[in-house]
Chains A and B, each alone.
Chain A
Amino acid sequence: MHAREAGSTETSELVARAKQGNREAFDVLVERYTPQVYNISLRITGSREEAEDCVQEAFLRAFTALRRFRGEAAFSTWLYRVAVNVANDATRRLRGQPLRASELAGGDPDASTPDLEGVGESPGGKGDGPEESLVEAERREVVIEAIRTLPEHHRTVIVLYDLQGLSYEEIGRVVGARVGTVKSRLNRARLALKERLEPHLELLRG
């Protein structure tokens, strides 16, 4: 889940030091926020490999522009905004390029398992036994794929709200929209997602 700015003082200090060129501060910020940025990127792009590239790109862009960050918003919000932009960029680029199921489920992108059979064995799979793992993995698969096929603005709010746990206000700062707009967008995104998942509702209810 989204790492709230628990150590906000420390983060602001780190940011201040990073702005002055302190490389160790960069390192700490990278360590602290990479998990969140990675998951945002992963869920937006739907591809592990692409997500890793996006994380790198997002930090590079953010650090390059760090001196313009004035601390009015939380650093995390600012960074997520960059991350969302980068991931959406990548997704636009990827559009039309089919992803393998193993990629979607977070499996080994190089594995030659282009169907669901490989999903249960993916590192992303959870569960007590093989069957449970397979079902859960399949659920994850269809949900992730449905998210991936949402329009960009819908996908973004779903990822930030439901997967990253950001508040309406935080999402508003990330996507540059008012809270009312965020709410409305999230409602529509969920309806769109539900439509995509209609054929799989039984599986999801299981």
Chain B
Amino acid sequence: MSADLTRECEKLRERLPEYAEGRLEGRLRARVEGHVSGCPRCAAEVADLRTVIAAVRAVGPEETPEDLIPRVRRAAQERVPAPAGVGLFWARLAVPVAVLTVLVAVTFALRAPRKQAFVAGGGVMESAARAPAVRASKPKQLGDEMVGEPGLEIAQKMEAAEGLARGWAGPAAEQPAPPRAREDKASSYPTYQAAPPAAAASPAAASPADASKASDQLDTTAFVRERGAARSFDTDGTATARMGKGEPRAPAERRLKEGVGRAGGAGRGGGYAMGGMRAPAAEAEMFAGTCEESAKPVEAPPLSARAALVSGAGGKLIALQLAAEQPLGEIALRLGDASPQVYAWHGPEGGPAWIPLTGDAIGAGPAAIPIELRAGDASRDYVLFVPMMARLGESAPAAPVGGYGGQSLEAVLAEFTALTGLVVLAERPLDVKMTGEMPRGKPSEALEQVAAEAGFVAHREGDLVYTLTHRR
């Protein structure tokens, strides 16, 4: 075959399928026809293409499974909010911050059966789930140094997720409920659970006298100031501190510091404390005393949150990584219509702490979960947009379609999430009115463009997870 012929083959090769189908017209058709008639190789290619095209078309449609239409109808009826209901949906879920604040600002009067949540790096958060709350006053900073770094490796996330999964459901069922603390001031504090060494959970350490003594020695301010020093705790044991007005929690931390010191790699892949070895007696007594020192307001620390999608035991879940330059006082999460879950912070400066959000916890269907991070009087609000939970973690992004129609960024993100399967953690406020069209193209690029238009910056946290923060 001559060089010229070969070059013409290369030039025309991409047109052969169109030619084979008979869709080429005009001069191009004539050119291809002329070439093919003199080129056995391309003629054979055309013949093969015709065979392939015919074979593909012969595949034809397949009958729809009988029960598919009823199933899709049912799913649509159950899971698609009515248009008028979209607003209601949001109104229902997007609880005004004021309301949330009030809820959070109330101290827990009752201590409902608690669920443990996992904090990467070895800590354990405990939520007073669905407990009515009245917080007396400004909470003080609390937290033990946790070993861990803001950017956990995926293996750690996985491990965290698994730990979370265990801790989320396990302790309440597996362990006797801790005795109620006094039904006075102490019991009106939100609860906080740290993970001290076993020594801290020993009967001796748990005696009221010790607790009282330790409490007397408390210098919370100093403690807070000292926080820059490296401190950590082992995660094999568990004790509980309380927080709230004048929370006398330092004893536990003191014990943790003095008794254990650094726990080294506890947060780096091992030593996640889930369940086990809780010391109810210590919990009850250690913080029964009243701290005379009033809580001092803390400066608003920079707060931030990130989200990660991790695989845990038995399924997918979202883990929120919450971080702050100073430890946060409380973290309130409202999941769906449920009462807020309030967690005490138990992370180091700068985090990280991971909170699991399982599909069960969030519920089915697209959801927007308001999240309030609090530290003293400071707070920052986020909304976590999650896609269909049933397919969480299974669905890769797809490009969104359509226009904004003057919707708020919040509404746009909700739809974006539902359409693409992306998980978006966005910082509030999200009331920017969006106009124009949803960008076309890759969802990731579309999201970045949406964020940019609204004055946000999109941080990619993984294949499916983005964090949106205000451009500052």
Contact A42 B62, beta carbon cutoff 8 Å: yes
- The answer, among A106, A158, A194, for a CB contact under 8 Å with B62, is A106
> Which residues from chain B contact A183 at a C-beta distance below 8 Å?
18
Contact A93 B394, beta carbon cutoff 8 Å: yes
B85 within 8 A of A: yes
Contact A78 B401, beta carbon cutoff 8 Å: yes
A123 to B53, CA, bound (A): 23
Contact B396 A187, beta carbon cutoff 8 Å: no
Considering only residues 327-380 of chain B, those with a C-beta below 8 Å from chain A are 366
> Which residues from chain B contact A55 at a C-beta distance below 8 Å?
68, 72
> Which residues from chain A contact B45 at a C-beta distance below 8 Å?
194
B185 within 8 A of A: no
A143 within 8 A of B: yes
> Which residues from chain B contact A188 at a C-beta distance below 8 Å?
14
> Which residues from chain A contact B418 at a C-beta distance below 8 Å?
61, 64-65
Contacts A82-B398, A186-B18, A190-B17 supplied; 15 other A-B pairs, CB < 8 Å: A20-B83, A21-B82, A23-B76, A23-B77, A26-B73, A30-B73, A34-B68, A39-B61, A52-B65, A60-B80, A64-B419, A65-B400, A93-B396, A193-B56, A204-B55
Q: Which single residue of chain B is at the shortest CB-CB distance from A193?
A: B52
Assess A21 versus B83: contact at CB under 8 Å? Given A68-B405, A188-B14, A190-B53: yes
> Which residues from chain B contact A193 at a C-beta distance below 8 Å?
52, 56
A191 within 8 A of B: yes
Assess A60 versus B55: contact at CB under 8 Å? Given A65-B402, A68-B401, A190-B17: no
A197 to B50, CA, bound (A): 12
Shortest Cβ distance from residue A189 to the other chain B in the assembled complex, whole angstroms = 8
What per-residue 1/0 map shows which CB atoms of A68-84 lie under 8 Å from chain B?
Answer: 11100000001001100
> Which residues from chain A contact B421 at a C-beta distance below 8 Å?
89
Q: Which single residue of chain B is at the shortest CB-CB distance from A86?
A: B398
A140 to B20, CA, bound (A): 21
Assess A191 versus B17: contact at CB under 8 Å? Given A143-B59, A162-B56: yes
Residues on B lying within 8 angstroms of A by beta carbon are 13-18, 20, 45, 48-49, 51-65, 68-69, 71-73, 75-77, 79-86, 366, 388, 391, 394-405, 415, 418-419, 421, 438, 440-441
Shortest Cβ distance from residue B298 to the other chain A in the assembled complex, whole angstroms = 42
Contact A163 B56, beta carbon cutoff 8 Å: yes
Assess A89 versus B64: contact at CB under 8 Å? Given A144-B59, A191-B16, A194-B49: no
Assess A34 versus B69: contact at CB under 8 Å? Given A65-B402, A93-B394, A176-B440: yes
Contact B391 A66, beta carbon cutoff 8 Å: no
- The answer, among B18, B52, B61, B400, for a CB contact under 8 Å with A204, is B52
Assess A30 versus B52: contact at CB under 8 Å? Given A64-B419, A65-B415: no
A35 within 8 A of B: yes
Contact B73 A38, beta carbon cutoff 8 Å: no
A116 within 8 A of B: no
- The answer, among B58, B77, B82, B403, for a CB contact under 8 Å with A68, is B403
Complex A-B: 28 CB contacts under 8 Å? A1-B61, A26-B77, A30-B73, A34-B68, A35-B61, A48-B65, A57-B391, A60-B76, A60-B80, A61-B398, A61-B419, A65-B402, A68-B405, A78-B401, A78-B402, A81-B401, A89-B397, A90-B395, A93-B394, A93-B395, A144-B59, A163-B60, A176-B441, A186-B17, A187-B14, A190-B20, A191-B14, A201-B51
Contact A64 B80, beta carbon cutoff 8 Å: yes
Shortest Cβ distance from residue B116 to the other chain A in the assembled complex, whole angstroms = 31
Assess A187 versus B18: contact at CB under 8 Å? Given A81-B401, A93-B394: yes
Contact A65 B401, beta carbon cutoff 8 Å: yes
Q: Which single residue of chain B is at the shortest CB-CB distance from A43?
A: B59
Interface size on A, residues (CB 8 A): 68
Considering only residues 159-186 of chain A, those with a C-beta below 8 Å from chain B are 162-163, 176, 183-184, 186
Shortest Cβ distance from residue B106 to the other chain A in the assembled complex, whole angstroms = 35
Q: Which single residue of chain B is at the shortest CB-CB distance from A78?
A: B401
> Which residues from chain A contact B71 at a C-beta distance below 8 Å?
52, 56
A16 to B68, CA, bound (A): 24
Shortest Cβ distance from residue B422 to the other chain A in the assembled complex, whole angstroms = 11
Shortest Cβ distance from residue A133 to the other chain B in the assembled complex, whole angstroms = 14
Q: Which single residue of chain B is at the shortest CB-CB distance from A122?
A: B62
List 9 A-B pairs, minimum CB-CB distance, nearest first: A85-B398, A68-B402, A21-B82, A190-B17, A63-B80, A204-B55, A187-B17, A89-B396, A162-B56
Contact A64 B81, beta carbon cutoff 8 Å: yes
Residues on A lying within 8 angstroms of B by beta carbon are 1, 19-21, 23, 26-27, 30-31, 34-35, 38-39, 42-43, 48, 52, 55-57, 59-61, 63-70, 78, 81-82, 85-86, 88-90, 92-93, 106, 123-124, 136, 139-140, 143-144, 147, 158, 162-163, 176, 183-184, 186-188, 190-191, 193-194, 197-198, 201, 204-205
Shortest Cβ distance from residue A19 to the other chain B in the assembled complex, whole angstroms = 6
Q: Which single residue of chain B is at the shortest CB-CB distance from A126?
A: B60
Contact A190 B419, beta carbon cutoff 8 Å: no
Assess A123 versus B63: contact at CB under 8 Å? Given A21-B84, A201-B51: yes
- The answer, among B55, B69, B75, B83, for a CB contact under 8 Å with A67, is B83
> Which residues from chain A contact B366 at a C-beta distance below 8 Å?
64
> Which residues from chain B contact A48 at a C-beta distance below 8 Å?
65
Assess A143 versus B55: contact at CB under 8 Å? Given A186-B17, A191-B16: yes
Shortest Cβ distance from residue A193 to the other chain B in the assembled complex, whole angstroms = 6
Q: Which single residue of chain A is at the shortest CB-CB distance from B416?
A: A65
> Which residues from chain B contact A59 at a C-beta distance below 8 Å?
72, 75-76
> Which residues from chain A contact B48 at a C-beta distance below 8 Å?
194, 198, 201
> Which residues from chain A contact B64 at a C-beta distance below 8 Å?
34-35, 38
Contact B399 A70, beta carbon cutoff 8 Å: no
> Which residues from chain A contact B13 at a C-beta distance below 8 Å?
191
> Which residues from chain A contact B83 at a C-beta distance below 8 Å?
19-21, 66-67
Contact B402 A69, beta carbon cutoff 8 Å: yes
Contact A82 B401, beta carbon cutoff 8 Å: yes
A25 to B364, CA, bound (A): 24
Contact A70 B80, beta carbon cutoff 8 Å: no
